Amino acid sequence: MEFNVQTTGASNDIEKATRMARSMVSMYGMSEKFGMMGLESLQNRYLDGRSVMNVSERTGADLDEEVRKILDACYDKAVKLLENNKEKMREIAEFLFTKETMTGDEFMEMYASVPESFDF
C-alpha cells in the first residue's frame, strides 16, 4: 500500500488465508449460503490430510465464490486498518530499520503512545 507495488512476498500468507477461508465455509459451517452443510472432508487425516469434495461441480464453484467473498472482505478491512494507521506503521518501520527487532513491551509502548491506536 505504501509504495503501490505488488510483490510475491505474501504468497504463503495468501495460500494460508485461502485455506482457512475455504475451511470456514466447507467444513466449519461459517457461511450464510451453505450454513452447516459439510462440503468437504479430510481423507487420511493423520497421513496427508487431503481434502475431498462432497459436492457437485456447480456447488464447488459456489464454494469458491463464498471463499472469494471472505478473502475480499478481509483484504478490504486490512487495507483500511493500514490506511487509518499509516503514521504509526511508519514509526514502527523506522524503529525496526534502526534496531532490527522489537520486543512486545517496546511495541506496546509505541502502540499506547498514539491517541487513536489502530482503529478498525
Sign of the alpha-carbon dihedral angle for 33, 36, 40, 42: positive
pLDDT score of 71 more than 90: yes
- 40-44, 96-100, 101-105: the lowest-pLDDT one: 40-44
What pLDDT, on a 0 to 100 scale, did the predictor assign at position 88? Answer: 86
- 81-85, 95-99, 114-118: the lowest-pLDDT one: 114-118
Q: What percent of the chain has pLDDT over 70?
A: 84
pLDDT bin (cut points 50, 70, 90) of residue 66 is very high
Mean pLDDT for the chain? Answer: 84
Q: What percent of the chain has pLDDT over 90?
A: 35
pTM over 0.85: no
Q: What are the Cα distances from residue 119, in Å, to 12, 38, 115?
A: 26, 36, 10
* CA separation for the pair 43, 54 (Å, rounded): 11
pLDDT score of 67 more than 90: yes
Q: Look up the CATH number of domain 11-84.
A: 1.20.58.760
Mean pLDDT for 74-82 is 92
- Please say whether the beta carbons of 33 and 66 come within 8 A: yes
Q: What are the Cα distances from residue 61, in Å, to 45, 52, 64?
A: 24, 15, 5
What pLDDT, on a 0 to 100 scale, did the predictor assign at position 68? Answer: 97
* CA separation for the pair 2, 83 (Å, rounded): 9
